[in-house]
């Protein structure tokens, strides 16, 4: 802002001279800037609100350094699902106003099937993901194309209280036992809080728990739906059973049935729970919040049943190029910069985001300044769980959310709920297969 | 009060044409478009391209338990909230109609909840219902009662969506009824008072019968709005817990914007419209007849 700076400066000598100088200071940089701006290619990116804020300084410096290429960021909503609704609203009109979109990993298959994305391998190279941590690569390339470049390597994590225990629990049994002990001793009101509201977050919790009990949600196969569900397997039922058991036995509050990320974080940050399942971003939120647990929080990978190992649900964000972008090459350059190691490093330092590049996990400065990195790498290398890669994922997730939310808010057995979720999923996938053959 | 006589003179018809045209563009066209789309398969599986599927969407609708559950739930929500709003709105209108100091301020104040955007209101109520930190649960705690899951009890959560809706929309009903009250000549009431009628007699014999057209207007308005309830449930409950507060509009929205199943979403929209048509017709028939005889 050279203009405002000039105005605040006291006028030297005569008022007229000051005014002239001021005018020159205001107009000169504006005139210099105006020309390249007019000739520059502008790439428009739609991102959820928190990312707009966190990347604003980086985007500003990119725009300062580049004469011929400008990034224009549009602010989307804060909420992930609202963000998808907004983007889709624009895409349905056909002529999208954006070149690219910051996408949640769970949307990709749907967007590809709708024909909204442009393959990136031709622009970024076949090896674009090669130098990334294995877990962060998942969910970006399928069907022989690269659809998305990940910006963050988020996975579900377990937050625990370092003032209440020396080590985090590794198994579901340990977590439950520690919770009960701390609750009995009156140290915390509740043991474990997570996201149980009827929304996408509950599907994320369920996915990692299904794997934590040795099951899987999705078996990749053929057909337009791309596979089938295994929700009535013993592992999947055991996962649902454990979650509902936590609620019914009071280890988790009954209120988890209406908890999204915010509500669960709020309760943990207030010191009312020993454990929290949430994403990497929460660590900074807790530290910045200044509540009673600041400095007393540790982070670990999610717990699994004895004998199994779950990697935590993959919840990465990444940039995709939208069909209809008038300048894909320029957009690809912006994607390369935006998801590149330098930008990601700055985001780790400023925001505590989880990076995707393997080299950043070795960076001594980052290792020193960001304690979460070691755990994050472990989660990503442990093989994070990917939500079913099918264009019908939104429906499948909706079916499961309703069943699990119903299970934890009412009577009924986990086996019945999962059998219902499985049969409803099967009906949905069959009808898709019917359309396939038609 | 003369109903709405259908005048067939040419001038009147011509004068109505622009309005009819506008209605056709903003109302009939989208509806016809949806009706057509409801006969097509148009989803993420067809690459969003519409292809006729011979009434499969309608067949699916008839067998879709979720549709019927949502229809019943939406109806329950509409009937209970509009019923409460009429009763409370009438009481409020009667109070606001009384002459007295500061009446203007009181009227403005009473309208405030209605002026709030639904989303903001829903976020506010979400906090009020919060378990365990919200004000309602703090109040319960004060009295030594256990926390209540206002938004996590499938059997009762719909009542709390009704409460939020009543809080917001009662002022709107009150405003409509207040306009009706002001159209009743004061002399009529005065003459009844002179004859020694009690306030409750005045209300039953004079006010309510003369207010009937206004009540039916408020009823139509609110019923149509309540059957299309969307933002409130979307923000407050997202249709939960266990899908117990999902409205038809929310279901149609999910199908279009999340599932990208436009054929089925259009089917839900048309079905909701038919339901609305049926209900408003019933309400209209019920309330239309009698006011004329009584007010004469």
Using alpha carbons, list the distances in angstroms from residue A424 to A228, A402, A416, A418, B255: 12, 11, 12, 10, 16
In the structure encoding, which two tokens stand for residue B71, read together? 């229809």
Residue A30 is assigned to a structural domain of this protein: no
A93 and A49 fall within a common domain? yes
A112 with A141, same domain?
A: yes
The CA distance from B265 to B96, in Å, is: 43
The residue ranges of every structural domain in chain B are 80-226
Indicate whether A61 and A133 sit together in one domain: yes
Q: Kindly state which CATH superfamily the domain B80-226 is placed in.
A: MetI-like (1.10.3720.10)
The overall pTM is greater than 0.90: no
Question: Closest Cα partner for A307 from A171, A167, A168?
Answer: A171
**pLDDT confidence of residue B13:** 83
Q: Per the CB < 8 Å rule, is A115 touching B47?
A: yes
Distance CA B296, CA B294 (A): 5
The residues of A whose Cβ lies within 8 A of any Cβ of B are: 81, 84-85, 88-89, 110, 113-115, 197-199, 224-225, 253-255, 257-258, 263, 266-267, 270, 272, 391-392, 394-395, 398, 402, 405-406, 409-410, 431-432, 435-436
Contact in structure between A392 and A221 (CB atoms under 8 Å) = no
Asked which of A381, A401, A419 is the last residue of a domain, the reply is A381
Record: contact B45-A224, CB cut-off 8 A: yes
Least confident of A99-108, A199-208, B20-29: B20-29
Which uninterrupted H or E stretch holds A19?
helix A15-39
Q: What is the pLDDT of residue A435?
A: 62
- Among A255, A260, A421, A437, the strongest candidate for a mutation testing the B interface, having the largest count of B CBs within 10 A, is A255
| CB-closest option in A394, A402, A410 to B259 | A394
Tell me the CATH number at A414.
3.40.190.10
The answer for residues whose C-beta is within 8 angstroms of residue A390's C-beta and 6 or more apart is A109, A218, A225, A226, A227, A396
Cis amide linkage into residue A67, ω under 30° from 0: no
Q: What is the pLDDT along chain B (296 residues), one digit of tens a residue?
A: 455 555 567 888 888 899 989 988 888 899 999 999 999 999 988 888 899 988 899 999 999 999 999 999 999 999 999 999 999 999 999 999 888 778 888 888 888 899 889 999 999 999 999 999 999 999 999 999 999 999 999 999 999 999 999 999 999 999 999 999 999 988 888 888 888 888 888 888 888 989 988 998 898 889 989 999 999 999 999 998 999 999 999 999 999 999 999 999 999 999 999 998 898 888 778 776 554 444 43
Residues A101 and A237 in one domain: no
Q: Which of A352, A381, A410 is the last residue of a domain?
A: A381
d(CA B26, CA B56): 28
Q: Looking up tokens 């330092």, which residue turns up?
A: A349
pLDDT at B293: 46
CA distance A88 to chain B (A): 7
pLDDT in tens, A391-430: 999 999 999 999 999 999 988 999 999 999 999 999 999 8
Count of domains for chain A: 2
Average pLDDT over chain A reads 89
Residue A25 falls within a domain, yes or no?
Answer: no
Taking CA–CA distances from A88, the nearest residue in chain B reads B257
Residues A249 and A361 in one domain: no
Residue A371 structural domain: 41-153+315-381
Cβ atoms of A34 and A14 within 8 Å: the answer is: no
What the block records as the tokens of A129 is: 């993901």
Which residue's entry shows tokens 């729970």? Answer: A273
A291 and A201 in a single domain? The answer is yes
pLDDT for A25: 53
Q: How far apart are CA A191 and CA A189, in angstroms?
A: 7
Gap between the Cα atoms of B175 and A225, Å rounded: 53
State whether B45 and A391 contact (CB < 8 Å): yes
- As a whole number of angstroms, the distance between CA B75 and CA B227 comes to 7
A203 pLDDT higher than 90: yes
Q: Do A145 and A283 fall within a single domain?
A: no
Same domain, A96 and A67: yes
* Range of lowest pLDDT (A61-70, A222-231, A247-256, A350-359): A222-231
* CB spacing of B241 vs A398 below 8 angstroms: no
């Amino acid at each position: 802002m050279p203009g405002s700076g000039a105005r605040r400066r006291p006028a030297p000598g005569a008022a007229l001279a000051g005014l002239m100088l001021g005018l020159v200071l205001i107009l000169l940089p504006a005139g210099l800037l105006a020309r390249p701006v007019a000739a520059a290619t502008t790439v428009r990116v739609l991102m959820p609100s928190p990312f707009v804020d966190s990347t604003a300084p980086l985007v500003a410096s990119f725009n300062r350094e580049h004469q011929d290429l400008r990034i224009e960021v549009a602010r989307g909503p804060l909420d992930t699902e609202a963000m998808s609704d907004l983007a889709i609203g624009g895409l349905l009109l056909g002529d999208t106003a954006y070149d690219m979109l910051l996408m949640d990993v769970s949307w990709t298959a749907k967007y590809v099937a709708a024909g909204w994305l442009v393959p990136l391998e031709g622009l970024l190279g076949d090896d674009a993901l090669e130098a990334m941590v294995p877990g962060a690569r998942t969910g970006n390339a399928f069907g022989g194309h690269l659809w998305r470049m990940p910006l963050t390597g988020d996975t579900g994590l377990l937050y625990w209280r370092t003032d209440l225990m020396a080590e985090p629990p590794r198994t579901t049994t340990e977590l439950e036992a520690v919770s009960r002990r701390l609750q009995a001793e009156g140290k915390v009101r509740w043991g474990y809080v997570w996201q149980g509201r009827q929304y996408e977050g509950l599907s994320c919790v369920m996915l990692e728990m299904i794997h934590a009990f040795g099951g899987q949600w999705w078996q990749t196969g053929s057909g337009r739906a791309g596979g089938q569900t295994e929700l009535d397997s013993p592992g999947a039922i055991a996962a649902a059973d454990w979650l509902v058991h936590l609620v019914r036995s009071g280890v988790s509050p009954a209120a988890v049935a209406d908890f999204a990320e915010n509500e669960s974080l709020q309760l943990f940050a207030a010191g009312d729970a020993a454990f929290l399942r949430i994403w990497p971003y929460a660590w900074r939120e807790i530290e910045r919040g200044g509540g009673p647990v600041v400095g007393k929080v540790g982070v670990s990978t999610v717990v699994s049943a004895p004998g199994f190992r779950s990697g935590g649900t993959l919840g990465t964000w990444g940039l995709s190029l939208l069909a209809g972008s008038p300048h894909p090459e320029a957009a690809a350059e912006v994607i390369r910069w935006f998801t590149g190691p330098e930008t990601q490093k700055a985001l780790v330092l400023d925001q505590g985001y989880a990076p995707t590049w393997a080299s950043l996990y070795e960076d001594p400065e980052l290792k020193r300044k960001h304690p979460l990195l070691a755990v994050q790498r472990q989660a990503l290398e442990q093989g994070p769980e990917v939500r079913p890669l099918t264009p019908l994922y939104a429906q499948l997730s909706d079916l499961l959310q309703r069943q699990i939310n119903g299970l934890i808010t009412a009577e009924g057995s986990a086996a019945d709920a999962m059998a219902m979720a499985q049969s409803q999923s099967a009906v949905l996938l069959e009808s898709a297969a019917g359309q396939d053959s038609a | 009060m003369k109903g709405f006589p259908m005048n067939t003179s040419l001038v009147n018809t011509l004068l109505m044409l622009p309005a009819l045209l506008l209605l056709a563009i903003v109302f009939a066209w989208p509806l016809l478009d949806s009706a057509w789309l409801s006969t097509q398969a148009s989803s993420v599986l067809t690459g969003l391209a519409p292809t006729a599927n011979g009434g499969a969407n309608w067949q699916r609708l008839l067998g879709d338990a979720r549709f019927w559950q949502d229809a019943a739930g939406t109806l329950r929500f509409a009937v209970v909230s509009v019923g409460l709003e009429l009763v409370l709105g009438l009481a409020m209108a009667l109070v606001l109609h009384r002459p007295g100091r500061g009446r203007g301020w009181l009227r403005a104040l009473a309208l405030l909840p209605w002026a709030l955007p639904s989303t903001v209101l829903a976020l506010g109520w979400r906090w009020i219902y919060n378990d365990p930190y919200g004000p309602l649960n703090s109040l319960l705690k004060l009295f030594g009662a256990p926390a209540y899951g206002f938004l996590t009890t499938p059997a009762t959560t719909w009542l709390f969506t009704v409460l939020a809706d009543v809080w917001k929309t009662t002022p709107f009903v009150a405003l409509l009824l207040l306009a009706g009250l002001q159209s009743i000549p004061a002399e009529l009431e005065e003459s009844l008072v002179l004859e020694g009628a009690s306030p409750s007699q005045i209300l039953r014999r004079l006010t309510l019968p003369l207010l009937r057209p206004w009540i039916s207007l408020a009823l139509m308005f609110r019923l149509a709005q309540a059957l299309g309830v969307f933002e409130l449930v979307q923000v407050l409950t997202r249709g939960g817990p266990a899908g117990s507060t999902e409205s038809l509009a929310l279901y149609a929205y999910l199908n279009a914007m999340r599932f990208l199943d436009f054929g089925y979403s259009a089917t839900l929209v048309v079905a909701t419209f038919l339901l609305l048509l049926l209900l408003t017709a019933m309400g209209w028939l019920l309330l239309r007849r009698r006011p004329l005889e009584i007010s004469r």
